[in-house]
Chains A and B, each alone.
Chain A
Amino acid sequence: MNVLELINLRKSFGSELVLSDVSLTVPEHTATVLIGASGSGKSTLLRCINLLDSIDDGQIILDGEEISDPLIDVDQVRRKLGMVFQAFNLFPHKSVLENITLAPIKVHGLSRDEAIAQARELLNRFGLSDKADQYPDRLSGGQQQRVAIIRSLAVKPRLLLLDEVTSALDPVLVNEVLAVVRDLKQDGITMVLATHEMGFATQVADEVCFLEHGEIVERGTADQVLHDPQMTQTQDFLRRVHEAGRL
């Protein structure tokens, strides 16, 4: 069963075309990895799926329901989606526990006790149980991003969107965040993620899509796209990544 289906998505900011004819299918329990240079449209694609940005044309279908319909209840749609941002976007005035329990209590109607129990379980699982009462500015970047991931997991999303979740972290902290994502993949959580970590993409991706100028230029398994690319644009991009020492 497909959790997400994108059909001929088009999006422009003013005269700049950011997404052009993007079609994508994300089956349940799979991870789709978006790669491409900065400005290739990866983040915009994720924001469009989340309805944070509106599309100019095409269809977005979530669990068989067209969510690009202007009559859709946006808040209802977002209940099914989790999103993790490059800059974490934790709420600085709330403790770690409050960050995680806010949506379960206010949006999903859990009791305070239920929400806290669930949050503590998740914190425990990802090795952050001693940080429950800390404020975000007391945590390292890697810890903040793990809390942000837990926050989006706490609402049990049908689909998790991860937008370059390690780009704001220094190399030492990248791994602790990637380990969490690998765990989620093991759990069978359906996700779409944009990343610059090619090695990581190889490990988790069921499908890799290479974007350039808002178009999916090449797609396939990680082996096909990352190790045996057919298109010259993909080859160029991967060569540049390789030269930068990031493969």
Chain B
Amino acid sequence: MTKTNSPIHQQVSRAVSWSPSPREQDRARIRKLILRRRILVSVISSAIVLGLFVTVLITSPGWKVVKTTFFDVNYGRQVLHLVARGLITNIQLTIIASIAIGLISLLLALGRTSRSAALTPLRFLATAYVDIFRGIPLILVILLIGFGIPALQLQGVTSNVFVLGTTAIVLTYSAYVAEVIRSGILSVHPSQRAAARSLGLTHNQTMRHVVLPQAIRRVVPPILNDFISLLKDTGLVSILGVIDAVRAGQIESSRTFNYTPYVVAAVLFLLITIPLTRYTDYVLMKSIDKQNAQGAA
């Protein structure tokens, strides 16, 4: 892109004195008509789809039963505080886990991308770690850690289910996030490394000051995505007996044989995850805009 040297005030005054030609006014009118038609079409199609969906739901033979056993508003109000208290456990777990995941995954990613001979065992271990924990379903890791570690009867090792559940989640998610960070590191163009090294920066300095800052910026959207998954997956620790939102709902519904507490838990999760998802989307769009702008410069 060429930048001309014409003074800015000149461009401004030219912009102010402009008034659209009759042809352009015509075009503007037509554009407005096209836009109006597009809006109309999208409203109608949305109404049809939604209407169809609701119709199928409420005309289904079991709707009456489902309505009382899943969507009992009064019962929902009663159990809200129990489930909400459980959700606080999910949030605590998410925060603690994400800090640990951040540190461990960064070390794993750096380990896997290092070239130093002395770090060969680290590279090997990091690769093995990622292969193993990315390949086992999270629920199995939770069960194996949650029941396996206490069974070892090791001195000083906790049998607290909250701690064990968190550990299992951290182990699995660190493997995922490490891969995301590693892909970010590898996506920084080699010419950036060449420029840094030719200035005399060592491999570590290049990593620290040139590659990582750019890599992390690039992987923020996918990592936010993983963060949302993490929040939801904390519900899985309920199988160890941790009283989180899922478990609180389960306790209630097994008492009354009404599944409304599950729906309450789902709604509470959505109240957190939807804003997070929208925010992630916003960050992603912004980073794409920025990259496109850089591409044009």
Please list the residues of chain A having a beta carbon within 8 angstroms of any beta carbon in chain B. 47, 50, 52, 75, 78-79, 81-83, 85, 87, 89-93, 102-103, 106-108, 136-140, 151-152, 155, 170, 172-173
In the complex, chain A residues whose CB is within 8 Å of the CB of B210:
91, 102
Nearest A residue (CB) for B214: A93
Given A102-B199, A139-B297, A140-B3; 14 other pairs, CB 8 A cutoff: A52-B197, A52-B198, A75-B197, A78-B197, A85-B191, A85-B194, A89-B191, A90-B195, A103-B200, A106-B209, A107-B205, A136-B297, A152-B199, A155-B199
* Contact residues in A for B199 (Cβ distance below 8 Å): 78, 82, 102-103, 107, 151-152, 155
A-B Cβ contacts below 8 A, count: 70
Beta-carbon contact of B202 and A89 below 8 Å:
no
- 1/0 contact string of B258-297 vs chain A (CB within 8 Å): 0000000000000000000000000000000000011001
Q: Does B153 contact A (CB under 8 A)?
A: no
Q: What's the interface size class on B, roughly?
A: 20 to 34
Q: Is the CB of B3 within 8 A of A85?
A: no
Task: List the 4 closest A-B pairs by CB distance, nearest first.
Answer: A89-B195, A103-B199, A83-B198, A79-B200
* Contact between chains at A170 and B2 (CB < 8 Å): yes
Shortest distance from the beta carbon of A77 to any chain B beta carbon, whole Å: 9
Shortest CB-to-CB span from A226 to chain B, Å, is 29
Shortest distance between the CB of A19 and any CB in chain B (Å): 18
B294 in contact with A137 (CB, 8 Å): yes
Nearest opposing residue in chain A for B203, CB measure: A75
A12, chain B: closest CB distance, angstroms: 20
Shortest Cβ gap from B185 to chain A (Å): 14
> Do residues B195 and A85 form an inter-chain contact, with CB atoms below 8 A?
yes
Interface residues of B in 95-111 (CB under 8 A from A): none
Q: Which B residues are CB-close (under 8 A) to A108?
A: 200
Is B213's beta carbon under 8 Å from chain A? yes
B201 in contact with A106 (CB, 8 Å): yes
Query: Within the assembled complex, what's the spacing in Å between the Cα atoms of A137 and B293?
Result: 8
Other-chain residue from B194, B198, B202, B294 in contact with A92 (beta carbon distance below 8 A)? B294
B192 interface residue per 8 A CB criterion: yes
**Chain B contacts for A52, CB-based, 8 A:** 194, 197-198
Is B200 a contact of A155 with CB atoms below 8 Å?
Answer: yes
Contacts of B2 in A (CB 8 A): 140, 170, 172-173
Docked Cα-Cα span, A106 to B197, in Å, equals 12
Contacts of B77 in A (CB 8 A): none
**What is the bound-complex CA distance between A151 and B293, given in angstroms?**
24
Are A102 and B294 within 8 A (Cβ)?
no
B201–A102 contact, CB under 8 A? yes
